Amino acid sequence: MDKEERKQRLIEELGVHFETEYSLPPLAARIFANLVVTDELGLTFEDCLEKRGASKSSISTSLNLLLQLGMITYFTKSGDRRRYFKIADKSDFFIKKLEQALKKAGNESKMIQKVAAYDQENNPEKYEQYKQKIEVYIECLNQNKKTYQKTIETLGKLF
């Protein structure tokens, strides 16, 4: 398998990962994957069109979605009216993903505690049956929140 075939397989694998993990539509996921593995400083709209073989409107919609999500940015070159798309600053991207995970863990913890409080008051038998498991789960969420917060702080200092 030559270099280009390996690159295309990686783009496809990354695309599936981004679809699943970031809930991206397939085309946007593949464009993002292309931007992650490109050797270029950035890709133009035309480059994305050529590499993905989709319609202009589909490419435009996907690029706009990635821009809105903060996953990509663009720059221009002096004397060139085209926009060059690239992945957003990695530190910003990583921090945003960790902040989302932190928020998700916090929301999960609050909801589990609300359900437990409801059960404690309205269904004591059920509460007692699951109390220990809930405590372990809440502790796990709290540890994850601490880890996410520490990692966000560390990344913030590195970049």
Same domain (yes/no): 82, 95: no
Q: What is the tally of structural domains in the chain? A: 2
Average pLDDT over residues 125-133: 96
Q: 39: alpha, beta or left, given left = phi > 0 and alpha = psi -120 to 50?
A: alpha
Same domain (yes/no): 81, 98: no
Same domain (yes/no): 17, 84: yes
- Dig out the tokens for 8 from the structure: 């295309």
Rounded Cα–Cα distance for residues 98 and 87 (Å): 17
Residue 159 has pLDDT above 70, yes or no: no
Same domain (yes/no): 12, 79: yes
Same domain (yes/no): 80, 24: yes
Q: Calculate the alpha carbon distances from 75 to 27, 85, 91, 153 in Å.
A: 22, 7, 18, 28
Same domain (yes/no): 97, 116: yes
Residue 92 has pLDDT above 90, yes or no: no
Average pLDDT over residues 78-99: 86
Handedness of CA 85, 26, 65, 50 (dihedral sign): positive
Confidence (pLDDT) at 126: 96
Domain termination site, one of 88, 113, 132: 88
Tell me, what CATH number does 19's domain have?
1.10.10.10
Average pLDDT over residues 109-131: 96
Same domain (yes/no): 125, 143: yes
| Reported pTM | 0.71
pLDDT tens digits, one per residue of 37-84:
988 889 999 999 988 888 999 999 999 999 998 899 999 999 989 999
Same domain (yes/no): 38, 76: yes
Domain termination site, one of 72, 88, 104: 88
Confidence (pLDDT) at 132: 97
Confidence (pLDDT) at 22: 87
Confidence (pLDDT) at 64: 96
Reported as a pLDDT band with limits 50, 70 and 90, residue 91 is low
pLDDT tens digits, one per residue of 1-42:
898 899 999 999 999 999 998 899 999 999 999 999 988 889
Residue 149 has pLDDT above 70, yes or no: yes
Confidence (pLDDT) at 158: 82
User: In which domain, by residue range, is 57 found?
Assistant: 3-88
Residue 90 has pLDDT above 90, yes or no: no
